[in-house]
A and B are shown apart, each in its own frame.
Chain A
Amino acid sequence: MVNIIIADDSALARTVIRRCLEISGYQNAEFFEAVNGREALEMAHKKQIDFIVTDLNMPEMDGKTLLKFIKASPRLTNTPVIVITSACNQSRIDELKQLGAVEVLSKPISPAVIARVTQSFTKED
């Protein structure tokens, strides 16, 4: 079973991301939904998570801060983090990749794009 955290303050965005992941091969994954970075971080500490998909612009704790906490944690530092954001251009992509994001994607996203990014992750049989 693959465990995935989806962090986005929009319920619609979480649904769209989840659907894209399901279409791209994660239909049997267990999804944990968080409305901000703080919730996502708490979940990541409690569960064995395979990867995290996070929005950037969220209340309480944004995606960039979440990414910094994940990469600073010895237990979580190898957990892949994909950032999906509307505030995306080359400058932002470079900044987030330097902080440790495996990929930075622009909204709106598609299953094909998600599938390409997650190819390197362990998939369910």
Chain B
Amino acid sequence: MTSRLAIFATAVFLMLFQHSATGHHSFAVEFTVEETAVIEGVVAEVWFKNPHVRYYIDVTNAAGEKDRWDTRGSSPSLLVRRGWTKETISVGDTVIIKGHLGRDDKRLLSIIGIDLADGTKLGAHY
């Protein structure tokens, strides 16, 4: 069941985000397909521009310090077709982001899905 869910999530991810691989450069170079992570934090910066949408997220670590994560989505022109606009996520919003981890232990995520504080689910759930 878990593997079916994983396959389904992967399929949806590809439908929504494959352009980040096909449109610009290879997902495989920077991200791992096997390793995913979930982070919860506050949006510090919104970059809603090509070649990739980015949300910079401040995550409080175990020591109480803030780590900044670079999370990446698709290109704006592909997202806005699905109603995901620059205004969908704003600086100061609390978000939970699931994504594929960047290689080399970077604080880097390729977004699979985002849960907003009001319960809205974007990405894999979108």
Partners in one complex: no
B-to-A contact residues, CB < 8 Å = none
A-to-B contact residues, CB < 8 Å = none
